[in-house]
Structure 1
Amino acid sequence: MRAVTVHEGQLNVEEIPAPVPGPGQVLVDVTRCGICGSDLHARQHADETADAVAEVGYDHFMRSNHTVVMGHEFTGRVAAYGPKTRKKWPVGTSVVALPILGTPEGIHLTGLTRHATGGYAEQVVVNESVTFEVPDGVSDDHAAMTEPLAVALHAVNRGEVKAKDTAVVIGCGPIGLAVILMLKAQGVRTVIASDFSAGRRALAARCGADVVVNPAVESPWASFADSTYLQGPTDLGQFGLDTMKQLRAVPLLPWRRVMEAAQKLGAAPRGPVVFECVGMPGIIEDIVSHAPLLSRVVVVGVCMEPDTFRPVMALNKELELRFVFAYDPAEFHRTLMMIASGKVDPSPLLTGTVGLEGVATAFDQLADPEQHAKILIDPTSRATRA
């Protein structure tokens, strides 16, 4: 079969052996595959990533001297079944699947290891147990967005964002835009989006951001100056004094029980929820320095370099710092259903399609934030430029 391989950072279209489905596996004819930011990183920083991933127990992440077929954001049609499968769907059924491959040798990350060929190819093998039929009416383009949108849904879930919260999205690349879509789908009323790129700011507005900021001109934190969010430790102290004064003004009121009940009901002060979607050194420190007190910071961007921030600043503001990775099968399936119902429309993210011969050029195009957000690969297309 035809596929795009990466070796020593070079992308080439090659003829490689077609994958054969093993026990519990399904062979899928790829109809679309998205180019993910992690693919861009892995092409250039495979060895550093492999070293980090090995520290947490996975020794098979791609390295620069490996020959790998990348691609983990794919959709396609059932082509054949391996042994010990239920054969739930007729051949030709449109499906999506989690990009992990269970084998007798262990679990592998599809498209990020030489042990599990990814979706930059005409065919891919998936596990039947984590494969889902695409509902009628969902296009291949939209189905291929299930995986990256599931990442965003997981980030929003981990952020525990409430409808009345303000969400701040720092960085409006593909993952930041996906987070905006999911925040609005979850009913969050106020989403502030910040990016230096005019093109990405326009896409953020299309995705539903309520306030779109160019940080070169205006700080994304400027709107918090007159907000109800607490800005400094003295504000928190004043809140405590004012609350106690009001509670003790009623002599028979059991102030301690009232305060504890209010805290259980969520009436205690809280800050906005901030999503770091840039993945560059210095961004966490900038957020820690400028976010209001009690903010919850969800780190979604993948920073490939060492970074520093001032823990004492985070401590003084009592910030929460959470890091997220991937999603669970329920979140993946829920994302597919949200796309199918129209609750989430991934169209604003889709800015181009290429064939296998156009993948190398697409990687170059994606380096310019003004050109594209998400480029999809159609293995049957001969397009060389998105």
Structure 2
Amino acid sequence: MKAVSLTRGRLALVDLPTPRPAAGQLLVAVERCGICGSDLHARRHADELADALDLCGYPRYLRSGQDVVLGHEIVGRVVDHGPRRERSRLRPGTPVVTVPLVRRGRQVDGIGLSADAPGGYAEYVVVQEALTLPVPNGLPVDVAALTEPMAVAWHAVNRGEVRRKDVAVVLGCGPVGLAVIAVLKSRKVGTVIASDYSAGRRALARSLGADIVVDPAVESPWQEASAGHGFVTSMPDEYNAGIDAVESLAGLPVPWWTTWRALDATGATRPRRPVVFECVGVPGMLDGILAHAPLHSRVVVVGVCTGTDTIRPALAVNKELDLRFVVGYTPLEFRDTLHALADGALGVSGLVTGRVGLAGVADAFTALADPGTHAKLLVDPSLASHGIAGTAVR
């Protein structure tokens, strides 16, 4: 089969044996595979990521000297089953998407992110049947291919515990940030502020439902976030609010702490705060958020900073910021994302800005190095050309 192999940062079109599924696995003919930011990082920073994942107990992440077929945002059709196929619930020809993990015994590998689990930049890929779902409602293949990255956003919003009345601030409108915006608006979050330097990406953010779109080179997303929402933006404001409250409650016929305790129980004293989604993943980004976010902000880190970064913990301590990191999703979140796409509850119009054949993957990586050129590019193994079929965002 034809596939794209990554070795020492070089992407090359190669011929490989068609993989064979083991028991509990499927062979899938790839129809589309999204190019993820993780793939771009892996090309240049595989060893840094592998070192970090070693410390997490996963020593099998790809390394720069290995031959690896990337690609984990996969949609395709079932071709064959492993042994004991009579137990299979997915017949050949069924369109499917999959959580990109395969298991041999108790060893689990990330599809497209391990030398032992070739990914979807190929004509065929082996997937785990238990983690594979049929595509419902005749969902177009270009939209079904977004299930995996949208599930990442679905999980991030879940971790953020965002309510409809909250203010959400999305920093970075690349594919991850745009996906987060789409999920937030599908949850009817009333105020979503999006920030990005690219005019094209800001336009996509608005098309996906962002209520306020900011160019951080011109205006501050924090001013927009704080305007009229009652957030506390300085420590003296916090202290004055406490003193004011005690003085006000002291005039009641019961001790002030009795009333305060009762208000605590109802949630009335809970500070107002935005939920911030960091979707950039470059050094300095997180410390900038700690410096400028209102007090009590909940910060959800979705962007992956591959290298060493520096933050000032005293900023987060004195502001009592809630810092959360996210990765991936649960199988249930993956399933719910797929059905939200199929039911039309999750809008992704305009997110896919182009398709490329296997021969053009290297050119697609080059194009994606310019953040203002494309949002999401899909690999389509049926395309023979080197060029990108689609329209750039700007």
**TM-score, structure 1 as length reference:** 0.97
Whether the 8 Å contact between 2:356 and 2:379 is mirrored in structure 1 is: yes
Whether the 8 Å contact between 1:353 and 1:383 is mirrored in structure 2 is: no
Summarize the Cα distance change of 1:203–1:129 in structure 2 as closer, same or farther, 3 Å threshold. same
Structure 1 portions without partners, runs of 5+: none
What secondary structure sits across from 1:348 in the alignment? coil
1:361 aligns with 2:363: yes
**1:262-311, CA deviations, whole angstroms, 9 ceiling, x for partnerless residues?**
43443311310111101000001111110000001111001111111111
Q: Which amino acid aligns with 1:354?
A: V
Q: Distance in 2 between matches of 1:178 and 1:290?
A: 24
State the partner residue of 1:167.
168
Residue correspondences, number: 385
What secondary structure sits across from 1:345 in the alignment? coil
Whether the 8 Å contact between 1:39 and 1:71 is mirrored in structure 2 is: yes
1:238 aligns with 2:240: yes
State the partner residue of 1:5.
5
State the partner residue of 1:27.
27
State the partner residue of 2:336.
334
Match of 1:316 among 318, 327, 337: 318
Whether the 8 Å contact between 1:100 and 1:110 is mirrored in structure 2 is: yes
Q: Which amino acid aligns with 1:212?
A: V
State the partner residue of 1:119.
120
- Stretch deviating more after TM superposition (229-238 or 149-158): 229-238
State the partner residue of 2:301.
299
For the aligned residues, what is the CA RMSD? Answer: 1.4
Summarize the Cα distance change of 1:258–1:341 in structure 2 as closer, same or farther, 3 Å threshold. farther
User: 1:162 deviation in Å?
Assistant: 1.1
Whether the 8 Å contact between 1:282 and 1:308 is mirrored in structure 2 is: yes
User: 1:259 deviation in Å?
Assistant: 3.3
**1:224-257, CA deviations, whole angstroms, 9 ceiling, x for partnerless residues?**
15530011112222222233334343314x7545
Q: Distance in 2 between matches of 1:126 and 1:280?
A: 32
Whether the 8 Å contact between 2:5 and 2:68 is mirrored in structure 1 is: yes
Q: Distance in 2 between matches of 1:225 and 1:179?
A: 22
**1:24-63, CA deviations, whole angstroms, 9 ceiling, x for partnerless residues?**
1111111100000000000001111111111111111111
Q: Which amino acid aligns with 1:81?
A: H
- Stretch deviating more after TM superposition (174-183 or 225-234): 225-234
User: 1:128 deviation in Å?
Assistant: 1.1
State the partner residue of 2:46.
46
State the partner residue of 1:220.
221
Summarize the Cα distance change of 1:265–1:160 in structure 2 as closer, same or farther, 3 Å threshold. farther
Summarize the Cα distance change of 1:120–1:256 in structure 2 as closer, same or farther, 3 Å threshold. same
**1:46-95, CA deviations, whole angstroms, 9 ceiling, x for partnerless residues?**
11111111111111111111000000001111111112452112211111
Q: Distance in 2 between matches of 1:381 and 1:36?
A: 19
Q: Distance in 1 between matches of 2:349 and 2:281?
A: 24
State the partner residue of 1:351.
353
Q: Which amino acid aligns with 1:295?
A: S
State the partner residue of 2:93.
92
What secondary structure sits across from 1:347 in the alignment? coil
Structure 2 portions without partners, runs of 5+: 389-394
State the partner residue of 1:384.
386
User: 1:369 deviation in Å?
Assistant: 1.7
Whether the 8 Å contact between 1:199 and 1:369 is mirrored in structure 2 is: no
Q: Which amino acid aligns with 1:72?
A: H
State the partner residue of 2:142.
141
User: 1:136 deviation in Å?
Assistant: 2.1
**TM-score, structure 2 as length reference:** 0.95
